Chains A and B, each alone.
Chain A
Amino acid sequence: MDVFLAIRFDGGAVTEFFFNHVILRGVRNTLEVTILAMLLGTVLGIILAVMRVSHSRPLAGFSAFYVWFIRGTPVLIQLLVVYNGLPQMVGSDEFTHFLTPFRSALITFSLNEAAYMAEIVRAGIQAIEPGQMDAAKSLGMTNLQAMRRVILPQALRVVIPPTGNEFIAMLKNTSVAFVIAFVELTTAARLIYAVNFKVMELLVVASIWYLIMTTAFSVLQAEMEARLAIVERERAIPLTSRVLRALGGGRER
């Protein structure tokens, strides 16, 4: 009997290439850029958010403009501007060599993430009851002190879920950096199957790695939320609930 549809899939290739050194380099690069860009982007985002809610018009204006501009243009274009566009304008060899694919990716993703984090942190700040600011100021704190000691610590708790989201989104968005020759995970897979033509197998390898990373960070996020919940409530959250919560489900108890 003739088979209409034959599935050609070499499961062996998946295991063969799973710990391939090019793949592992891709995993490492993806993780490095994601973690560093999230850290830098969050710090910058907090600064932008505080600027946005301040009473100073120039500061608030600049922050709003930055967010509008960065969110309004594709990160792909931003990558190309940093890696190709700027060196063209600056014209110095040193400058061009300084901007390696890794550094360009890091700078771009940090600046890009800052714009999204600014909005998230701003929402967190504005979610805090005005009574908190009243109390802080009544005790003699200046606006900045009140922000640092009272408002931001509370706001940052609120923003952990959306930040975790951003982290997971960035893990995957780093694949766009192939345009500037950055060897992240997807590029690594493509490099290998360009030679051995095992397209699907390598894409499966990459996907499994992405799943491992995103799941690990989801669990970390859930753990952070659970620990902070101990402060707000009295009881700790049991382990099964934590795991379920990490995978995106579970009941709020």
Chain B
Amino acid sequence: MVALSNDGGSHKVGNSSSLMLDVQDVHKRFGPLEVLRGVNLQVKRGEVLVLIGPSGSGKSTLLRCINHLEKIDAGHIYIDGQLLGYREVNGRLIEEPEARVARVRATIGIVFQRFNLFPHLTALGNVIEAPIHVRGLPRQRAVEEGVRVLEKVGLGEKLNVYPSQLSGGQQQRVAIARALAMQPKLMLFDEPTSALDPELVGEVLEVMRELAGEGMTMVVVSHEMGFAREVADRMALMDGGQILEEGPPLQFFEAAQHERTRTFLSKIL
């Protein structure tokens, strides 16, 4: 069922209104290499999906397509019912202007494997930058909210410290706080703990666990199976640019249906 919204764009409503993320038959190629070959994925509001798979399977690319850092070549992505990156006019897809896309990106938080903190700003500086310049908050309020979210991730003592002076785990927690400061509807995590020393992984997973408990919709690409088992509502295996299997964690760990799933899990468990 398709409905027209006030601004003339169209989006699907009805059964899919509880869907925060709806990826439909998405294709993406880089030159001659097709990295995403018809990906279908749905994530309900408040759900935590953990995406696993071998490297090169397209998991990172998929996340980057979800927040439109990369443009897809075919298919549709709906964020909270709204078509991303394009508007449908008379059955044709027209690219949205950059400013529009930027606004949608502001509602999706992403945490990168290498943190990507802004080195020339303090922890607090990193966190308040977008709320001030993108959300347009007055500085005072942005600082208040920023302090609160940094305290939430356990870094209330490190407000005026520069990223280079923080440990990896602390940097990643600042990155999470920075994303949360924009009050996103959906949080994407691209191997958030893969670049961390083992003893620092726990503090980041703990923050993610809390976030999940608060009802945030999350898509997490990770190899942390313990986290997946405890926190994920659903898991999906991606290989060769496609989702091969999807289901609750128990199914994955005890009764995986696809051959590839079993092979992959046997290698990492």
Contacts and interface: CB of A to CB of B under 8 A. Distances in A.
**A complexed with B:** yes
Contacts of B257: none
A240 interface: no
Interface size class of chain B, counting residues whose CB lies under 8 Å from the partner chain: 20 to 34
A234 B98 CA distance: 39
A224 to B, nearest CB: 14
A135 B116 contact: yes
Contacts of B69: 134, 137-138
Contacts of B67: 138
B120 A157 contact: yes
Nearest to B188: A138
Contacts of A149: 129, 133
Interface in A137-152: 137-143, 145, 149-150
A117 B269 CA distance: 54
Interface in B71-118: 98-99, 102-103, 105-110, 112, 114, 116-118
Given A145-B134, A149-B129, A137 B105 contact: yes
A93 interface: no
B134 A139 contact: yes
B28 interface: no
Nearest to B110: A138
B130 A140 contact: yes
A247 B182 CA distance: 47
Nearest to A141: B134
A135 B182 CA distance: 13
Interface string A149-163: 110011001000000
Interface of A: 129, 131-132, 134-143, 145, 149-150, 153-154, 157, 231-234
